[in-house]
Amino acid sequence: MSEFFAQFAVPHPSTLIYIAMASIVLGSIALVAIVTYFKLWGYLWREWITTVDHKKIGIMYLITALVMLFRGGVDAVMMRLQLAVPENGFLDAQHYNEVFTTHGVVMILFMAMPFITFFFNFLVPLQIGARDVAFPRLNNLAFWLFFMGMGLFNISFIVGGSPDAGWTSYFPLADNEFSTSVGTNYYMLALQIAGLGTLMTGINFITTIFKMRAPGMTLFKMPMFTWSALIANLIIVFAFPVLTVALAMGTMDRLWDTKFFAIGDGGMDMLWANLFWVWGHPEVYILILPAFGIFSEVISTFARRNLYGYTSMVWSLIVISVFSFAVWTHHFFTMGQGAFTNSIFSITTMAIAIPTGVKIFNWLFTLYKGKIVITTPMLYAMHFIPLFTLGGVTGVMLAMSAADYQYHNTMFLVAHFHNVIIPGVVYAMLAGLTFYWPKMFGFMLNERLGKATVWVMSFGFVLSFIPMYITGLDGQARRMYTYSEASGFSTLNMVSFVGAGIMSISFLMLVWNIWYSFKNSPRDIGSDPWDARGLEWATHTPIPHYNFAITPDVTDSTSEAFWDAKKNGTKLFKGEIQDIHMPNNSGQTFILSIFFFIGGFALVFSMFTLAIISLIGILACMGYRSLEDDHGYHIHKEEVELIEKKYDKEGGAK
């Protein structure tokens, strides 16, 4: 009996972990108490948990992403603190390993991914003039599967132990022999469950974009963000199945010693590396392409001009997506694959710089003859351009395979990928967040605070990451929890720690801004506070749950339908209001996801009876669904007219 409970204990407890455990437990109790006290359970269930509304699902992704940004950020600061001085004893080796592994997984899969999925959900249907996504209930299921995967990963910290083999989880290190806690089991199963959700999202949005565009919206009239979303979701559908297979094989290695990747009996450790990066490299484009889409929207809006070179922009997206599958071995140039293979992948990798460069020049020329207003989102974009270029050119350096022998596995690499991912992905998300905030919540974030945040963030960023390029070239390897005084790395690492501290201040400023603006910002901002260009601004604020009372018709417009309507008087809404068909909410998907969570947890600890019970639960849910008849419901014409009248009275724009 005690043995049964012993397996759930954390193998390397420390004061920090106990404090975290206590705060998590107290926090959860407080949350449950508050929800119960204000009698919010029913509201949460009806309005959020069971919702099929793409906007609300989007906001749930957003909240998850923001929470995970802070969780991953705390890990980052802990790492920088540990490395701030040589021979530091703040974290021991095992703890540091768990922290960087968790930081990597959380940031990429549970922060950046839900953040872009938030944009897919919130924006795509609005930009293409649709009422919802193609499969609304699948959308809800995708969210909950993702959420359960995220939850499963996060409890590893307090139940059984965190993974410690890096976010790349290379075998044989990740096998039972060398990673003895259940941490890597969590990694395998949590990513599997969340990944299923992502794959569903991919299928859903491809279908939505191909099938549900407003009349007149040809592919080459789609707004740039929708294009980037389409391409990113296509990459998802091609890349995620590879992850699914790799994780399934890895899980079997860990639970049943199958030795696909382990040492001996024909196990191939490099097979894991190949499968991981065949997914992993496209994955970074899944993140960055939508970020490019967001920047395109922001830059054209605040340059007050159409996007320069729309067509070349689209083609560069397409070319990048194809190439993203042809470069994965640049992650292991040093694996002894020989000069010929390295040459091929060196060239394909550098080739990606060409379409990426095209995009940078397109953004620059969008400013040409514009009328540039620097708002907070625009300031993010303007910082993004030079910082991301710096990250991009160091990527080209890494692509020179022979020279990469000297950069691989060093802080130079860490500096490079943060240099693309923070100004690229994180800035885009925060720019998009600020840009679309009024559309979501009906008030603006404070501009002064917002701009100050960007400056503090960039300052902290430069201070935090530029030193890593230098220590990398001086021989500081990555993932090392300590270094000696004699190495001479200490000054720059201290600078880097200070930079990380300044960056954390900027994130606190963001939180403060949300709170401050919630309290103080005016609510009568109309529906188009930025004087924007896309269809998403053509509906009311707050957005009615049917999005558009009349489906917009963009036959006579360019890719900036709303701008054309404002400037040239193109008519967007033709025809009469009619009955609107909407899908019903459903709680089944949530219940199904809970079974996935329990099943995943059971497998982590090899509790096969419980795993089989949850499998039966999953099959039962699916069986029930397949027998069910649900045709949704209609909002009647009169009701829509009533809602629309109310908006018109309140002065919403159209």
Partner 1 sequence: MKVNMKGTLLSFMGLGAILLAGCNDKLAVLDPKGPQAQRQADDTMLLIYLMSGIVLTVLAILVFMLFKYRASKQSPDYEPPHIHGHWLVETFMIGIPVIIVIFLSFVSVKSNYIVENVPQEYEDQEPLVIYASSSNWKWHFSYPEQGIETVNYLYIPAGRAIEFKLYSYGPITSFWIPQLGGQKYAMADMVTTLHLAADNPGEFWGRNANFSGRGTAENIFDVTALTQTEFDEWVSDVHETAAPLTEEKFDELLEPGHLGKQTYTGTHLEFSPAPEHNHDESSEEEVEEDHSSH
Place of tokens 């740039």: 224
Minimum distance of ligand HEM from residue 2's CB (angstroms)? 34
Letter for the amino acid at 488?
G
Tokens of 562: 């709303």
Neighbours of 69 (CB within 10 A): 22
Residue 410's SS3 state is strand
Minimum distance of partner 1 from residue 96's CB (angstroms)? 9
CB closer to ligand HEM, 213 vs 281: 281
Q: How many residues touch partner 1 (CB under 8 A)?
A: 97
Minimum distance of ligand HEM from residue 524's CB (angstroms)? 36
Per-residue buried b or exposed e for 134-157, using 16+ beta carbons within 10 Å of the residue's own CB = bbbbbbbbbbbbbbbbbbbbbbbb
Residue 373 binding partner per list partner 1, ligand HEM, Cu ion, none, with a CB distance cut-off of 5 to 8 Å that depends on partner kind: partner 1
**Nearest residue to Cu ion, by Cβ distance, number only:** 281
Minimum distance of ligand HEM from residue 30's CB (angstroms)? 27
Residues 555-574 that bind partner 1 (CB under 8 A): none
- Measured over the CA atoms of residue 519, residue 523, residue 527 and residue 530, the dihedral's sign is negative
Residue 299 near residue 378, CB atoms below 8 Å: yes
Residue 654's SS3 state is coil
Among 259, 304, 479, 625, binds ligand HEM (CB under 6 A): 479
Minimum distance of partner 1 from residue 373's CB (angstroms)? 5
CB closer to ligand HEM, 167 vs 333: 167
If 0-12 CB within 10 Å is exposed, 13-18 middle and 19+ buried, where does residue 440 land?
middle
**Phi–psi pair at 3, nearest 5 degrees:** -65, -40
Residue 380 near residue 431, CB atoms below 8 Å: yes
CB closer to partner 1, 326 vs 470: 470
Site string for ligand HEM, 358-397 (x = CB under 6 A): ----------------------------------------
Among 426, 456, 603, 621, binds ligand HEM (CB under 6 A): 426
Contact window for ligand HEM (CB under 6 A) among 104-112, 351-359, 380-388, 580-588: 104-112
Minimum distance of ligand HEM from residue 507's CB (angstroms)? 7
Residue 181's SS3 state is coil
Residue 335 near residue 402, CB atoms below 8 Å: no
CB closer to ligand HEM, 96 vs 647: 96
CB closer to ligand HEM, 57 vs 500: 500
Minimum distance of Cu ion from residue 283's CB (angstroms)? 9
What's the rounded Cα separation, in Å, for the pair 67 and 153?
14
Minimum distance of partner 1 from residue 482's CB (angstroms)? 5
- Residue 542: asked if its preceding bond is cis (omega within 30°), the reply is yes
Residue 184's SS3 state is helix
469 binds partner 1 per the rule CB under 8 A = yes
> How many Å separate Cα 553 from the centre of its chain?
32
Residue 222 binding partner per list Cu ion, ligand HEM, partner 1, none, with a CB distance cut-off of 5 to 8 Å that depends on partner kind: none
Contact window for ligand HEM (CB under 6 A) among 107-115, 231-239, 298-306, 321-329: 107-115
CB closer to Cu ion, 281 vs 566: 281
Letter for the amino acid at 141?
L
Among 405, 512, 515, 608, binds partner 1 (CB under 8 A): 405
Minimum distance of partner 1 from residue 601's CB (angstroms)? 26
Minimum distance of ligand HEM from residue 166's CB (angstroms)? 4
> How many Å separate Cα 614 from the centre of its chain?
28
500 binds ligand HEM per the rule CB under 6 A = yes
70 binds partner 1 per the rule CB under 8 A = no
Q: How far is CA 652 from CA 127, 131, 543, 571, 636, in A?
A: 19, 19, 10, 17, 21
What's the rounded Cα separation, in Å, for the pair 107 and 417?
12
In the complex, the residues that contact Cu ion under the rule CB under 5 A are 281
CB closer to partner 1, 474 vs 644: 474
Residue 430 binding partner per list ligand HEM, Cu ion, partner 1, none, with a CB distance cut-off of 5 to 8 Å that depends on partner kind: none
Residue 297 binding partner per list ligand HEM, Cu ion, partner 1, none, with a CB distance cut-off of 5 to 8 Å that depends on partner kind: none
Residues written for the chain: 654
- Whose CA is closest to 309, among 366, 351, 354? 366
CB closer to partner 1, 480 vs 594: 480
Residues 97-116 that bind partner 1 (CB under 8 A): 97
73 binds ligand HEM per the rule CB under 6 A = yes
294 binds ligand HEM per the rule CB under 6 A = no
Residue 502 near residue 459, CB atoms below 8 Å: yes
Residues 459-478 that bind ligand HEM (CB under 6 A): 464, 478
Among 166, 475, 542, 652, binds ligand HEM (CB under 6 A): 166
530 binds partner 1 per the rule CB under 8 A = no
What's the rounded Cα separation, in Å, for the pair 237 and 207?
12
Beta strands in 485-595 (DSSP E): 580-582
Q: For Cα atoms 427, 430, 432, give the angle at the middle one, nearest 5 degrees.
A: 105
Minimum distance of ligand HEM from residue 267's CB (angstroms)? 22
Q: How far is CA 597 from CA 231, 333, 423, in A?
A: 30, 38, 34
619 binds partner 1 per the rule CB under 8 A = no
DSSP string, 59-103: HHHHHHHHHHHHHHHHHHHHHHHHHHSTT--SS-HHHHHHHHHHH
Minimum distance of ligand HEM from residue 464's CB (angstroms)? 5
67 binds partner 1 per the rule CB under 8 A = no
DSSP H or E segment with residue 145: helix 136-155
124 binds ligand HEM per the rule CB under 6 A = no
What's the rounded Cα separation, in Å, for the pair 64 and 59?
9
CB closer to partner 1, 138 vs 532: 532
CB closer to ligand HEM, 352 vs 414: 414
Binding residues (CB under 6 A) for ligand HEM: these are: 73, 76, 79-80, 100-101, 103-104, 107-108, 111-112, 166-168, 414, 418, 421-422, 425-426, 464, 478-479, 500, 503
